[in-house]
C-alpha cells in the first residue's frame, strides 16, 4: 500500500469515526448522562467531519499532480 493510498484510507476512516460519534451523541448516546460537554464534543465532531471531507477532496486533487 502506497503512502498516498494509506493517507486517503486514513482520512476516510477518520471521517467515518467522526460522523459516527456525532450521530451517536445527537441520538442521545449516553442517555441520562448527557452533559453539555458531550453535546459540544458531538457538534465539534460534526464540524470536524465536514473539515475532513474538504481536506480529503483537496488532498486528492493535489495528489493527482504529484508523481510518486
Please tell me the total count of domains within the chain. Answer: 1
* Model-wide pTM > 0.75: yes
DSSP H stretches of helix in the chain: 3-26, 36-65
- Cα separation, 12 vs 10, in Å, equals 5
CA 42 to chain centre: 12
Question: What is the domain extent for residue 22?
Answer: 3-65
- pLDDT of 18-62, one tens digit each? 999 999 988 887 677 778 888 899 999 999 999 999 999 999 999
Q: What's the confidence (pLDDT) of residue 34?
A: 75
Amino acid at each position: 500500500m502506497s503512502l498516498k493510498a494509506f493517507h486517503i484510507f486514513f482520512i476516510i476512516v477518520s471521517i467515518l469515526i467522526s460522523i459516527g460519534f456525532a450521530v451517536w451523541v445527537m441520538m442521545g448516546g449516553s442517555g441520562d448522562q448527557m452533559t453539555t460537554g458531550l453535546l459540544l464534543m458531538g457538534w465539534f465532531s460534526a464540524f470536524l467531519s465536514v473539515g475532513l471531507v474538504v481536506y480529503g477532496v483537496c488532498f486528492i486533487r493535489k495528489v493527482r499532480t504529484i508523481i510518486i
